[in-house]
């Protein structure tokens, strides 16, 4: 159950206005930043104890990066933690050696060392960045932040708002509950679920919005494992216009579902009726944020511009099919699996290796190759969630088409990079293998990934 610890008045503009507070400048379409991972203190609400976290540049969430499509993003990453780290640029169709997966696309960035990420921003949309080194631990402690890519010559207005949601597992002193990190119960069940909800790093904030006219809300789920659901007061309708940074044919919903790592962009036609945001995944309404009219009003139509994909479902002629049978976890049907070339019982794997999940009868990891496909090939990931648990399946370096069942009984054909699969569900994730390299496919319930639910698709 998500609990409420307090309320702080917090203007969202303070988040939107933030650039990385060190060297940040543009020259010849190259935008340069410096991001530092370090131990930091953060106050979740007025009067709260200072919580000891891992943060980027001392802020929760990490600094907002806003850039334009076509620019080159260059980030000097300095690791001041006592353990290795890295940054993954989630949703970006990245250069493979800039993807930020230590042990696969780069060496881990050791304490005190730096690594420079440099890559083009070829797509506009709502993205984010987060640690991909012991992510189940480092993301749980706060290493994540939003990345917004706008169409050419665009800029964010006060009608373009970020709603970055997270849940934290805190103890009675508002500190990260470290004793439960690595819990086999969490790893074998739904993942690490928190007891404390934040929006833009604060508990139940007041968010300033224009008095009237249209607004654009960018929802991002930074949680380790919790699937969030949100409604506005009076169940006001929201027009969904993009998913995971990819524009879609707009459709209306009163409730949004966001798996970990997913993003949903919505537009509200008349913000004058919007007063409160509720999180409702527990079956109860929890007041997540309050909206307060802002005296400063920009033009009513100052909303971000989107360009719809030029194609729908890819041509399936001669598509390469990759079957992925997901098994494992508590109350599952996996009795044994192959790990490091040896068949072992699930009990032994759990006790000695902390491995609990498998693809096609093999414990996943960076040494598990699911397929090697030719560049330019249409690929169908035919995935069967043969477990008792939800899984948010994420493909690095690509977006995929899926007939999504996330929004009701009727399947919507959408483009995503993270798809929430229900227990027992069969789904086909269809993508063009147009980005060369070795790419990770894994569950973004981060505890599921570390305990076996991941593998590699090589494109070349």
Residue 28 has a pLDDT of 64
Write the pLDDT tens digit of every residue in 221-243.
999 999 999 999 999 999 999 99
Q: In this predicted structure, what is the pLDDT of residue 27?
A: 52
- The answer for 397, left when phi > 0, alpha when psi is -120 to 50, beta otherwise, is left
Question: Which CA distances in Å does 406 have to 145, 300, 382, 400?
Answer: 25, 31, 17, 15
Q: CA torsion sign, 358 to 370 to 260 to 90?
A: positive
Q: Strands across the sheet with 426-432, in order?
A: 342-345, 336-339, 362-363, 357-359, 320-328, 378-385, 426-432, 400-404, 412-416
The mean-pLDDT minimum among 92-106, 307-321, 416-430 falls in: 307-321
In whole angstroms, give the CA distance from residue 419 to residue 243: 10
CA distances from 33 to 36, 100, 102, 123, 212 (A): 10, 16, 21, 19, 35
Q: Which residues make up the CATH 2.60.40.420 domain(s) of the chain?
A: 13-151, 164-294, 320-459
Tell me which of 8 and 224 has the higher pLDDT: 224
Q: In the prediction, which pLDDT does 155 show?
A: 86
Residue 17 has pLDDT above 60, yes or no: no
Local structure of residue 352 (DSSP, 8 states): I
Q: 51 CB contacts (<8 Å, ≥6 apart)? A: 41, 42, 43, 44, 170, 174, 175, 176
Q: 320-459, what's its fold?
A: Immunoglobulin-like (2.60.40)
Summarize the confidence of residues 107-122 as an average pLDDT. Answer: 98
CATH of the structural domain 164-294, one choice from 3.40.50.720, 3.40.50.1000, 2.60.40.420, 3.10.20.30? 2.60.40.420
The more confident residue out of 244 and 294 is: 244
Write the pLDDT tens digit of every residue in 365-423: 999 999 999 999 999 999 999 999 999 999 999 999 999 999 887 888 999 999 999 99
Give the pLDDT band (50/70/90) at residue 312. Answer: low
Residue 254 CB coordination number (10 Å): 11
Distance CA 379, CA 433 (A): 7
Average pLDDT over residues 64-91: 97
211-220 pLDDT, tens digit per residue, is 988 999 999 9
Mean pLDDT of 86-111: 98
Res. 320: pLDDT tops 80: yes
Q: How far apart are the first and last CA of the chain?
A: 46
Report how far apart, in Å, the C-alpha atoms of 367 and of each of 259, 357, 448 are. 26, 15, 17
| 135 φ, ψ (degrees, to nearest 5) | -60, -35
Mean pLDDT, the chain, integer: 92
Q: What secondary structure does DSSP assign to 354-381, as a single string?
A: ---EEETTEE-STT-EEEEE-TT-EEEE
**Confidence check: pLDDT of 5 > 50:** no
Residue 303: the pLDDT is 81
pLDDT digits (tens, 9 = 90+) for 333-359: 999 999 999 999 999 999 999 999 999
Instruction: Give the pLDDT confidence score for residue 311 in this predicted structure.
Output: 58
pLDDT per position as a tens digit, 170-213:
999 999 999 999 999 999 999 999 999 999 999 999 999 999 88
The CATH number of 13-151 is 2.60.40.420
299/159 Cα distance (integer angstroms)? 9
Residue 114: predicted pLDDT: 98
- Region of poorest pLDDT, from 212-216, 224-228, 305-309, 318-322: 305-309
pLDDT digits (tens, 9 = 90+) for 276-295: 999 999 999 999 999 999 87
DSSP state for residue 272 in the 8-state scheme:
G
**DSSP labels for 108-171?**
-B-TT-EEEEEEE--S-EEEEEEE-SSHHHHTTTT-EEEEEEESTT----TTEEEEEEEEE-B-
Q: How far apart are CA 73 and CA 403, in angstroms?
A: 32
The beta strand positions in 313-367, using DSSP E, are 320-328, 336-339, 342-345, 357-359, 362-363
- Inform me whether the pLDDT recorded for 301 exceeds 70: no
Cβ-count burial 56-82 (b if 16+ within 10 Å, e if not): bbebbbbbbbbbbbebebebbbbbebe
pLDDT above 90 coverage of the chain, percent = 84
């Amino acid at each position: 159950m998500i609990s409420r610890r307090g309320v702080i008045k917090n203007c969202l503009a303070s988040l939107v206005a933030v650039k990385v507070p060190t060297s940040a400048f543009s020259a010849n379409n190259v935008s340069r930043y410096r991001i530092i991972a370090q131990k930091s203190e953060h106050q979740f609400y007025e009067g709260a104890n200072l919580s000891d976290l891992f943060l980027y540049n001392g802020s929760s969430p990490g600094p907002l990066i806003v850039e334009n499509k076509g620019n080159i993003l260059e980030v000097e990453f300095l690791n001041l933690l006592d353990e290795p780290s890295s940054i993954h640029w989630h949703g970006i169709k990245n250069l493979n050696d800039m993807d930020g997966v230590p042990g696969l696309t780069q060496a881990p960035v050791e304490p005190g060392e730096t690594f420079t990420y440099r890559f083009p921003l070829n797509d506009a949309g709502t993205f984010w960045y987060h640690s991909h080194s012991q992510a189940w631990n480092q993301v749980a402690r706060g290493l994540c932040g939003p990345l917004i890519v706008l169409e050419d010559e665009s800029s964010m207005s006060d009608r373009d708002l970020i709603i970055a949601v997270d849940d934290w597992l805190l103890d009675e002193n508002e500190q990260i509950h470290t004793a439960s990190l690595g819990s086999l119960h969490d790893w074998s069940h739904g993942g690490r679920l928190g007891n404390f909800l934040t929006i833009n790093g604060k508990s139940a904030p007041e968010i300033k919005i224009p008095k009237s006219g249209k607004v654009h809300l960018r929802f991002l789920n930074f949680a380790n494992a919790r699937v969030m659901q949100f409604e506005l007061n009076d169940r006001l309708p929201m027009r969904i216009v993009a998913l995971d940074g990819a524009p879609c044919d707009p459709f209306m919903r009163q409730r949004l579902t966001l798996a970990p790592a997913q993003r949903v962009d919505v537009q509200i036609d008349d913000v004058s009726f919007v007063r409160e945001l509720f999180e409702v995944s527990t079956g109860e309404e929890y007041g997540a944020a309050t909206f307060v009219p802002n005296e400063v009003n920009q033009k009513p139509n100052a909303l971000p511009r989107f360009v719809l994909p030029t194609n729908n479902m890819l041509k399936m002629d001669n598509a390469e099919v990759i079957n992925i049978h997901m098994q494992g976890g508590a109350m599952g049907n996996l009795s044994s699996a192959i790990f490091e070339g040896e068949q072992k019982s699930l009990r032994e794997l759990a006790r000695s290796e902390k491995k609990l999940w498998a693809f096609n009868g093999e414990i996943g990891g960076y040494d598990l190759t699911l397929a090697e496909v030719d560049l330019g090939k249409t690929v169908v990931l035919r995935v069967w969630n043969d477990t008792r648990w939800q899984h948010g399946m994420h493909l690095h370096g690509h977006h995929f088409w899926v007939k999504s069942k996330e929004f009701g009984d009727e399947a919507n054909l959408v483009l995503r990079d993270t798809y929430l699969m229900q227990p027992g569900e069969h789904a086909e994730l269809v993508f063009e293998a147009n980005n060369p390299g070795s790419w990770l496919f894994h569950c973004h319930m981060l505890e599921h990934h570390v305990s076996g639910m991941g593998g590699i698709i090589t494109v070349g």
